[in-house]
Amino acid sequence: MIKQILDELAHSVIELSPYRRTLVSLYEQPISPVPDSATRVLEYASCGLSPESNEQVLLFIAGGGIVRGDKYLPSFRISASYYIPSGTLPYPVSPWITSRRRFINVRGWQTDDLLLVPLWTDSRIIGQISVDDPKDGARPSLTELRKLEDLADVTAIALMQARQQEDLTQRHRLFHFLTENAMTGVLIAQGERIRYANDHAIEIFGYPMEQLTAVEPWWQLFHPDDRMKLRATDKLFETGELEVKGIRNDGGSVWLKLQPLHLEYEGKPAILINLLDISERVRAEVLLKEKAFRDPLTGLFNRHYFDDSIQMELKRAQRYKRPFTLMMTDLSRFKRINDTLGHQEGDRILHDVAHVVQEQLRESDWATRYGGDEFLLVLPETGVRIEALAQRLRSAVEEWSKANLPDTELGIDVGWATWTPEDDLSLSRLLKTADKNMYAAKNGLKG
């Protein structure tokens, strides 16, 4: 686009002025007509130059193409242009293309004369038109200068617009390259809408682009527990990054690390959010945590998990004033099985019975292997009909025993303790009462 504008300018100068040779150039940065201002030639076009003269220009640009503002001396200025008569500039200017004609009018144009028409923008020069070989051999008139200056003014505006557009295009290409080749998902949000998503973000959420950008507000893409944190964008930037759960189009979930960044998108403030899929790491951490909190033989929670979690259950019961029950169990006649069948078979039986016990519980209940063949059952919001659960446990274990141990009667002894809002909350009291009641039940069966 810029080269095309310069080419059109060079040909227009030849068509609309008496000059038969022209060289037009665009500077890398604007300069001022002062000694300490300098830049380099970014692009050029010519018309009427010989191959040798064009080669001279190319060599100049290849050598750095440095131009300085000190050639635009006030003493040479005519209108908005600069006419430099032969031999009047105290230092060389490159490239200075010497005319191939001989001019015999001593008051007219001379072989080494130079006419420069700057491309002005806001008192700075972004390029120039240099002309030579006037057809009539005369020095420039004000009428001719104004025609050239009008061309220069129009061209300067066109070049500035083209450079801005080219700059935007380059930035867009760079942005597109970076986002589309990023290892992370990228979302750009303005207000409550998503304005942009790269391919990786589309893959993470599983939505087509048109559906993803239609989600409003955009934080609906995340788990309800995380939406308030995402809605408060100020806090999001305070934390720097956040780990949240994304909701996929297929109903599944994905763990993501979010990193926000302020930016301007299409001229308006926006938020760029990097999305790093950390699902594998979270799954690994969950497995490690599960392994640390699980009894390896039975698969139930271990004593460490109980000690770590029970206080939370008790506080929840107290906060919401709901009953809470601890049920203690152990297997009757299990020692006899170990003694007669061996510990390896005893371990297998303990594993299978633990699953039988787990199957009788609700989803909100959880079971712990408290030690040996003792299981401790945690029953939130349970205060009545405990006997029904106890009976189900006895019946389930007895049925399993009849099916799998026909020569041995394996049973389960059960005792429990319930806290209600009227009681003083004491874990040690609950455990002691449940254990006491279990042994009372055990003694009753033996009696």
CA distance 87 to 236: 68
Nearest to 135 by CA among 298, 251, 302, 22: 22
Q: Which of 150, 171, 192 is the last residue of a domain?
A: 171
Q: 23 CB contacts (<8 Å, ≥6 apart)? A: 10, 44, 45, 46, 49, 57, 95, 97, 129, 130
- Which of helix, strand or coil describes residue 115? strand
Is residue 145 scored above 50 in pLDDT?
Answer: yes
Q: What pLDDT shows up at residue 320? A: 83
Q: What is the DSSP string of 286-330?
A: HHHHHHHHB-TTT-SB-HHHHHHHHHHHHHHHHHHT--EEEEEEE
Query: Looking at residue 446, what is its pLDDT?
Result: 43
| 45 pLDDT higher than 60 | yes
Q: What is the pLDDT of residues 379-422, one digit of tens each?
A: 998 877 789 999 999 999 999 999 998 888 889 999 999 988 87
Residue 419 pLDDT: 86
Distance CA 439, CA 413 (A): 8
Average pLDDT value for residue range 210-221: 90
Q: Give the domain-ending residue among 281, 314, 349.
A: 281
Tell me if 338 sits within 8 A of 284, measured CB to CB.
no
User: Domain boundary residue among 171, 192, 224?
Assistant: 171
* pLDDT > 70 fraction of the chain, expressed in percent and rounded: 92
- The answer to whether position 177 is within a domain reads no
Q: Which residue has the higher pLDDT, 318 or 237?
A: 318
CATH number at residue 72: 3.30.450.40
Domain match, 59 and 116 both: yes
Task: Name the one residue in this structure whose structure tokens are 């152990």.
Answer: 330
Q: Are residues 164 and 21 located together in one domain of the fold?
A: yes
Q: Are residues 188 and 274 in the same domain?
A: yes
Check whether residue 259 and residue 189 sit in a common domain: yes
pLDDT-derived band at 221 (thresholds 50, 70, 90) equals very high
Residue 102 or residue 278, greater confidence: 278
Same-domain check for residues 276 and 339: no
Residue 220 CA, distance from chain mean position = 17
For residue 76, give its domain range: 2-171
Question: In the chain, what's the furthest Cα-to-Cα distance?
Answer: 141
CATH number of the domain that residue 252 is part of:
3.30.450.20
Q: Give the whole-angstrom CA distance, residue 14 versus residue 19.
A: 6
Distances (CA, A) of 375 to 298, 300, 308, 328, 408: 10, 9, 17, 6, 21
Element containing residue 373 per DSSP (H, E): none
Confidence of residue 447 (pLDDT cuts 50, 70, 90): very low
Q: Is the same domain home to 308 and 352?
A: yes
Give the number of domains in the chain. Answer: 3
What element of type H or E holds 49? none
Is residue 176's pLDDT more than 80? no
